[in-house]
Each structure stands twice: as structure tokens, then as C-alpha cells.
Structure 1
Amino acid sequence: MTHRRTPALICLLVAGVLAAAGTGPAQAVPAGAPNAAHAALIAAKAYAYGLPLMEFERVRAEVSNTTCSGQGGDSTVNALGSSEHFMPPEARTVVAPNVDTLYSMANLDLSRGPVVLSHPDMGDRYFSFQLMDPYTNVSAYVGSRTTGSAAGRYAISWSGNPETVPGTETITVEHARIWLLGRTLAGDEADRRAAVEKMRQYNLTPPSGTSRSAMCDFGAATPIDQPEGVAWLDALSAALTRNPPPRRDAAQLDELAQIGVGPGLTVSRAGLSPAAHAAVDHAVRAAAAGVPEAAAIKQRTSALQNHGWSVAPDNLGDYGTDYLTRAGVAEIGLGANTPEEAAYTPAFQGADLLPLDSRVSSYRLHFAPGQEPPVDAFWSVTAYDGDSYLYPNAQNRHSVSDSRPDLIRRPDGSIDIVFSHSRPADPGVNWLPVPDGPFRVYLRMYAPQASVLDHTWNPPGIERY
């Protein structure tokens, strides 16, 4: 859906930018160049447009720096790295980490030919390999939901240099540079070891013919510093050169080109006045601060309308020209699945629409008999602290899932999940320890059924207990 009106967020950002930058006395504007106000508006749009691509580039750089061990290589381009451990509670590199699936990751470059992804027979274990383009749209899936669990070999081929590989099923994508993100269901320690044995059989074979896969520690990736202001825009232009944007973005790119943003462009060569150049720099910095807050406000507004749960947008992973939604997801949930693969529903408030806080009360999430999340794979409920990080606790317990044998059901089949700082007295509940203060909850549903996708099934509110 194309935005025909300038979103209110960007208007507010630009107003603040002009006030902060101070345009000073009126200056002559070169013919055809935007004035300070217009340039700031375009710069704010450029940030929203380019954030997902810049995050894609950041992840490629950070994953390439990850140290991997084991026969077969490292985690550089066209090499698959898999993690055999969940993210530990003390880690602060990932917000709201998943503790139900183990991750695999690869940066693909298909310009010299197809890369072959292979996996063993996975039995009834859920797994998926998500292929994302540089703009964080999902290009395709390999996995239990889409291609089945039998052992398979898939040639991932770029449409610009299409080739087939004998003995494989071809998956054609529109970009030469692709982010591959794998998820493999794992439970308790014994099940985690079984999952890792399957993952050790994942293989990625580049055009050179040498299989490259290894076990990695993604939590040890070295963070990459990001440029700011005008430097960020020039880095975006370089990224656009490496990752040609889709044709549907032509109108947006024509507008961004007015301030020197686009493949082969730089802001310094856009002919901007000093005031416009300063406004552009301030606008990018303001947008970098404003997008996270706007995404959080959008989530909380949705939660107020849905008994405390925030409902994800229906176009998750397939954004078209909805650049603001795409930017918001890149900020708070980079690498999100499409709703058909997984539905994400965070809760920030209880059913009373007040913030979740264990100092005020304990809380209960109750699924009545036959009313647990309708999925074809599995569902999980994970508790986090007020900043969306895992809460260290003596039980080392962070989630409840129907995929795990320790899930407690009442005699009538109902399920109670209690969130509290201290262990509840009732042995018939599933206890998730939470900090002594604010906390958050995420409900994840993998391979959700139609009633989740059309919102005829919604989770009940989290009640005081």
C-alpha cells in the first residue's frame, strides 16, 4: 500500500529538526534542490526506507565476524553456521530471544551460481529455513510447513543468473544477496542434543562444490558501529548499489535522489544549501531516535485494543511499499517470519490494560479446555523482564510450550500459566518466574491455523492471580 500522505511521525520529526538545527537567515537554494524543510522531510523518509537494508548489512558484517568451530568452515559468505545453545539470560545482544528453537544462519551470494541447501530427514521435529532479501522481505521457505520433513536438497538460484543443479529442487529468488535464517525446535537438554545432531547434518554447498557448515556462537558476534547523520545516508547509498532495489520502489527512490540518496549517489553531490545539508543531518539523527519510539507506541496502542496483547501487522515479511511498518519491524523484530510461518503476539499489559508488574500482583494466563493456541507445529509463551531480556532465575525456566513434555494440564484439559516472582502454591499451574517488577510476555505460534491468521482466535487477557 502506497502512502499518499506524509505520516504524522515524520512531520513531527521534521518540525523538531528545523527547530534544533536553526536554519538561520534565508539563503539562496540552488535550482531544483529542496529547501531545508523539504530536505529534512526527505531525509526522514530515507531513514525509514533504508533502515531494514542497513540492518541486513549490519547482520552480514557481524555474522561474518562470528567464530565457528567444527569441520567444514566458518560463517562467512555461502557458509552455514548453527548454534547449539539457546541465548543465555546474561546476553544482551538480542532483544526478546527465542528459547524454543536453535538458530542457523548464512549470508548467501548467488551471483556466481546456485547454493545448495540440504537437510536430513527431520521426522516430526519442526524446522524452517527462511530466505530473506536485503530489504527483509521473505523470499521463500524450506522447512516442515512448506517443503516437508523428508531429507531434501534445494538449489537456491538468483533470477539474474538462473541455473539448475541435478538432484535438487530449485528455489529462485530475485536478489543475489540473501540472508538465510534457520530455526530448529529443541526442548530439554536431551532433546536439545538430539536437535543438534540433526543440525550437524545441515549442509550448504556453494558453486565451488565444497560443503561449508559449522557450529557457531552467534552471541559472541562483534557489534558493528553504525554511522550517523549524513554519513548514514551515504552508507545507505552504497548499500543500495550493492543491493539493487526492487522496481516498485522507483517513486520513492526518485524522491530520495533529491538529497543525494540512491545507488551511486552521495549527499555532498546533491547541490544542497548549507542549511538544507544541516537539516538532513539532523533529520537522520532524529529519525534514528524516533523510529524505535514510534514502533513501541504502535505496539502499545495495539495492546490497548486487544486485551493487553499487541497484534502483529498482516503484511509481516511481505511489506510491499509499506516502508514505515517495515522499518518498525526491523527495529524491534528483525528477521520476522511471515504470519503463515509464525505469529508473534507480545503482551505489555494485563487484561485490565495496566502494565504487567509482579510487585502489584501475580498473573495468570488461562487457556480453557480446547482453547489453547490453534497451531499445526507448536506454541510457546516466554517471559522477559521490562526491557525484553530473559530473566535469570534459579529454575532456569523462561518458557512454557506444548512441544515440551513438562507442560502441565488440568484434569479438564485447561492450561494455566502463572507469572510471579515467587513459586505459586498450586502444583497444577505452569510457573514462569518473572523479576520483582515490570515484565513482558511473548506468545509465539508456529504454523498457526486459519483462525489465528484471520483473528477469529485471540489469546485471552492475562489476569491478576
Structure 2
Amino acid sequence: MRLRFLLVPALLALALVGGLCTTVPVATAAPSPTDGVVASAPPNPALAGDVGRRAYDYGFPLMEFLRVRREMTSVRCPDTLGNAPVNAFSHRPLPTDASDRTVVAPNTDTLYSIAHLDLRRGPLVLSWPNMGKRYFSFAMLDPFTDNIAIPGSREDGPKAGSVLVRWRQSKGKARPRDYDRVVTSKYRRVWVIGRTLASSTRDQRRAYRKMTQYTLTRPSGRARTFRDGCRPGKPASYPTPSDGETFVRRLNRALVTNPPPFRDRAILAELAPYGIGPGLDPDDAALDPATREALYAGIAGEAAYLPQSIKLRAVQGALTHDGWFDPPEGLGDYQKDYTLRAQIASAGLGANKRVEAIYPTGVLDSTGLPYVGTNTYRLVLPADDMPPARYFWSLTMYDSDGYLVPTPTGRYAVGPTHPPYVTRPDGSAVVIMSPTRPDDRTVNWLPTPSGQFRLNLRLYGPSRAALKGTWSPPAVQNLGPLPVGPLAP
């Protein structure tokens, strides 16, 4: 669904979404993937462009899943950057930094443990030690980026445990008594994103020691091994294609090896006459040149527009919520919301379900303007209204494309798990975002980039109030381009 946008706020937001209107007319609403507009008419140029756009939205998350999988598993043995051959973990001993551009909007609160499973030859057992009070989770994503399960603190508690992960088509039955529980996947390919909370440098070392005790084994206890002295090598790059013909051909192949769920039958029926679907070929669809050209142009146009569409959606949502956009229900379990699924794949691939974590995104300040790094901003979190999170919360700064902002201090986030974190005598916390360090040492400083940026507030283990929206973050005050010195209260 394309968002209708109010003219005045749209003009204010152009600095954030830079040139958006030159790509796709944002005031034009496109039918949703389930409107059934296309199914009643034979392929023709008038409809082909819209079909192409919807095909891209439908297929992009799967293609991104496979891109990340192929890139991360292209190494010879596990490295410490998140890359490892299939059925093996790669543990990162340090938080993500601004040099990492594999996925957008990574957090800096946790250390990552990444694994890509292939369950074709049988199930795997994921085990972990007693984690005490330390938050941990293993989000398990299927190729369509839905969360299958999230073993960890919330689902399993702090004690040592194990889950058996099996492919539904595997022969034989799993014996739950041998494990804490069984996770059954509809797909043989599963992406495991492990997150282990770590704060100070010293604590990161303690967290990493726990992570090295995470294991992936066969039920027999055998783990994948690698020769001593193996050098992982640099992961290859396999960008998701944006030209229409290449995208369709690769998507059709991907849908054969990753059969779409039954719920997608309606949209696949609409795409099939254009040669898009499992095992189909556009050449067999006998499209006339004008229809084919319009189809591929629609795909290319959506590839260019998609990264901007989530920004536009965020800005519209932020207009009525003090500058913050909270992604809607369905995050991590998208069902037929193909537009949201594509937007999240573009803006935050691998997102958790909301019950695990929510991600309010700050895109507008208290004056309704996008964030610009030359200004100074202030966020005040009252002592009696701190972000209500069971496990932890943090505020992270990204550039307008969703990547971490290089800073002179190497600090990307503020929160209780990001020392030094300071509060005032009344218990409130003040965050200052500015290009230069403020003199006031009772505030938490986030250095700003020279250009535009956005904020992400993370709440892991959000309260019911946060999930229902009865709690929301306060507005961020724009103090203008202030000089270095004390900040007015």
C-alpha cells in the first residue's frame, strides 16, 4: 500500500527522504497485494507496472535473506564478524560498528552470534549454558523473514538449555524428552541471529566467554569442525538485482527451492500470468514487448523507491506521535502484509517480533523537522517515565540510510548498558545530540554527523504499555545550532 501524504509535512520531510517525489509520485496510492485487481484481466501494459512493483515487494525479503545467507556462508571457516559456513556459529567478540554495512540498523547493545542452518540432512541441536541475569536470544528466521521461534531469556529463562531444530519434511520423529523443546521449521534454511547483552569492555569479554559455549550439533553430539589454522577469507558480495529481468529469473528459482506458504496463493495467482512464480519463466508468458517493458520498469522503479517508502511511512506515523514512529503489529510475523515485510527487509532485516523487542524510530524533532547534524538536540527521560523494558533499553543514532554513524568517540548509543551513562539528581536522564561535546557533564552525549540522521529507541522485553502504545517516547527538542558551552536547562 502506498501512503497518502499531507503536503506540508511532506515538504518538511524532503530533507530526510531527499528527492523522493522524483522517483515515484507519493500522492498516488497503489493497490495492496491482496486487492485482486490484476487477476481479472489478461496481462497488458496498463497493469504490468503495478504488477512489477508488487512482485518486487513480494520477492525482495526472500532475495535479501538469500543474499545475506550466501555472503555470510561464503567463507571457508568461521570468522569473528558474523560469517561462517552453514551449520556453524560465528561469534562477534565486539559490538557492531560503523564499518559494518551487511545489514541495516544493527544494535550495539548485544554481541551477535550468527548461524545459517541447512536442515536437509537432519535436525540440529542448539545449546547454551546457564546465562544468569544476562539477556540472550536466538531469533530463528525462515526465508520469508518470519520469526519461527526465539529461544532465550523470554521463552526459556536463564538456565542452561537446548532446542532441537528440525525441518518439517524430515523423516522420523523428534523426541522432546531429549531436549527442552523442539522447533519445527517449514523450511530447511533457517537464519539464527543470536544476541547476547554486553555493556562495558570488561563485560563484553565475559559475554563472549558465554557465547563460545553456544553449540550447534547433530543429535549425536557431533559438531561441524574446521582444520586448525584455517583462514576464513573475505566474504563475497552478491547484491540483490534491481533490474527487472534478472530479478524475476532469480526470484522464480528461489521460489522453487524455498516454496512459498499456502497463504501466498492469491498474490502468486496474480503474478503467474506475467511469468512470475515458482518454476515459471517470463518467456513462456508470451508477453508483448510493451507489457514486458512495463513489468520490468515497475520492478526497477520499486527497487529504487522501497528504501524511501519506509522513511515516508515513518514520517507520517511520527507526525502524530511526537516525532516517533513505532512499527505496526505484524513485525516479524508478516502474514500477507507484503509491503511492511519488504519495508522492514529494507530498513531493518532480521527484526524481532514485537513481544521480544520494539523499535520506536525518531525521525522528526519537536518542531516537526527531520534531524540535521549541524543542530543540537535534547531528549529528557523523566525518572518516573523511563522506557519500560524488562531486559534493557537504548537509544542509537543512524544515518538517514540506517547505518551507524562514524563518531570521534566510537559511541553510537546511550542507555544504562552503555557506560558511561549518567542521570541527574532527580533521576532523569538527558541525552544531548550535537556536533561538539557539551560542557555539562550531567548529560549523555551522542555526536551527530554532518548530514541527516535518525534515532532508534530499543526496548527489549517491552511492557504492556509500550506494546499497546499507551507509553511513547517524549519529543526531542531542537535547540538549534548552539555553540560549545553550557546548555540552558
TM-score by length of 1: 0.88
Partner of 1:426: 440
Residue pairs, 1:204-223, within 5 angstroms: 204-206=216-218, 209-212=221-224, 221-223=235-237
Q: Output the aligned Cα RMSD.
A: 2.7
Q: Pick closer, same or farther for the CA change 1:187–1:212 going to 2, 3 Å.
A: farther
Residue pairs, 1:333-348, within 5 angstroms: 333-348=348-363
Partner of 1:175: 187
1:232-266 CA-partner distances (Å, limit 9, x unpaired): 11111111111111111111111111111111111
2:341 is equivalent to residue 326 of structure 1? yes
Mind listing any 5+ residue stretches in structure 2 that lack a counterpart? 6-21, 27-40, 480-489
Q: Pick closer, same or farther for the CA change 1:431–1:179 going to 2, 3 Å.
A: same
Identify which of 421, 437, 462 aligns with 1:407: 421
Tell me which amino acid in the other structure corresponds to 1:420: S
Identify which of 447, 454, 457 aligns with 2:468: 454
How far residue 394 of structure 1 moved from its aligned partner, in angstroms, is: 3.1
How far apart, CA to CA, are the structure 1 residues paired with 2:200 and 2:406? Answer: 17
How far apart, CA to CA, are the structure 2 residues paired with 1:283 and 1:219? Answer: 38
Partner of 2:93: 84
Identify which of 161, 165, 179 aligns with 1:156: 165
Partner of 2:395: 381
1:206-226 CA-partner distances (Å, limit 9, x unpaired): 467521389x99995332133
How far apart, CA to CA, are the structure 1 residues paired with 2:264 and 2:54? Answer: 13
Identify which of 48, 57, 60 aligns with 1:39: 48
How far apart, CA to CA, are the structure 2 residues paired with 1:279 and 1:255? Answer: 16
Identify which of 126, 145, 155 aligns with 1:146: 155
How far apart, CA to CA, are the structure 1 residues paired with 2:394 and 2:231? Answer: 24
Q: Bigger CA drift: 297-306 or 164-173? A: 164-173
2:311 is equivalent to residue 296 of structure 1? yes
Q: Bigger CA drift: 276-285 or 135-144? A: 276-285
Partner of 2:326: 311
2:200 is equivalent to residue 188 of structure 1? yes
1:297-328 CA-partner distances (Å, limit 9, x unpaired): 11111122211111111110111111111111
How far residue 289 of structure 1 moved from its aligned partner, in angstroms, is: 0.9
SS in structure 1 opposite 2:457? strand
How far apart, CA to CA, are the structure 1 residues paired with 2:48 and 2:418? Answer: 54
How far apart, CA to CA, are the structure 2 residues paired with 1:440 and 1:266? Answer: 41
Q: Bigger CA drift: 147-156 or 435-444? A: 435-444
Q: Bigger CA drift: 387-396 or 100-109? A: 387-396
Tell me which amino acid in the other structure corresponds to 2:205: R
Tell me which amino acid in the other structure corresponds to 2:215: N
How far residue 69 of structure 1 moved from its aligned partner, in angstroms, is: 4.5
Partner of 2:259: 244
Partner of 1:392: 406
How far residue 8 of structure 1 moved from its aligned partner, in angstroms, is: 7.7
How far residue 33 of structure 1 moved from its aligned partner, in angstroms, is: 4.6
1:386-433 CA-partner distances (Å, limit 9, x unpaired): 443333333222211222453211111111111111111211111112
How far apart, CA to CA, are the structure 2 residues paired with 1:341 and 1:218? Answer: 33
Tell me which amino acid in the other structure corresponds to 1:89: A
8 Å Cα contact 2:43-2:291 kept in structure 1: yes
How far apart, CA to CA, are the structure 2 residues paired with 1:448 and 1:226? Answer: 33
How far apart, CA to CA, are the structure 1 residues paired with 2:440 and 2:86? Answer: 51
Tell me which amino acid in the other structure corresponds to 2:333: D
How far apart, CA to CA, are the structure 2 residues paired with 1:377 and 1:155? Answer: 25
How far apart, CA to CA, are the structure 2 residues paired with 1:456 and 1:213? Answer: 50
Q: Pick closer, same or farther for the CA change 1:181–1:380 going to 2, 3 Å.
A: same
2:256 is equivalent to residue 263 of structure 1? no
Q: Pick closer, same or farther for the CA change 1:87–1:190 going to 2, 3 Å.
A: same
SS in structure 2 opposite 1:329? helix
How far apart, CA to CA, are the structure 2 residues paired with 1:421 and 1:218? Answer: 38
SS in structure 2 opposite 1:145? helix
Tell me which amino acid in the other structure corresponds to 1:246: P
Q: Pick closer, same or farther for the CA change 1:176–1:91 going to 2, 3 Å.
A: closer
How far apart, CA to CA, are the structure 2 residues paired with 1:68 and 1:434? Answer: 37
1:54-107 CA-partner distances (Å, limit 9, x unpaired): 111111101112454589xx8222222222222232444443331111111122
How far apart, CA to CA, are the structure 1 residues paired with 2:419 and 2:4? Answer: 48
Tell me which amino acid in the other structure corresponds to 1:60: R
SS in structure 2 opposite 1:142? coil
Q: Pick closer, same or farther for the CA change 1:60–1:208 going to 2, 3 Å.
A: farther
How far apart, CA to CA, are the structure 1 residues paired with 2:361 and 2:127? Answer: 33
Tell me which amino acid in the other structure corresponds to 2:178: G
8 Å Cα contact 1:363-1:420 kept in structure 2: yes
Q: Pick closer, same or farther for the CA change 1:421–1:255 going to 2, 3 Å.
A: same
SS in structure 2 opposite 1:112? coil
2:84 is equivalent to residue 75 of structure 1? yes
Partner of 1:26: none
Tell me which amino acid in the other structure corresponds to 1:239: A
Partner of 1:25: none
Tell me which amino acid in the other structure corresponds to 2:413: S
Q: Pick closer, same or farther for the CA change 1:364–1:119 going to 2, 3 Å.
A: same
SS in structure 1 opposite 2:305? helix
How far apart, CA to CA, are the structure 2 residues paired with 1:230 and 1:163? Answer: 42
Q: Pick closer, same or farther for the CA change 1:219–1:401 going to 2, 3 Å.
A: farther
SS in structure 2 opposite 1:370? helix
How far residue 369 of structure 1 moved from its aligned partner, in angstroms, is: 1.7
Q: Pick closer, same or farther for the CA change 1:7–1:112 going to 2, 3 Å.
A: farther
1:328-374 CA-partner distances (Å, limit 9, x unpaired): 111111111111111111212211111222423x2111111211100
Partner of 2:240: 226
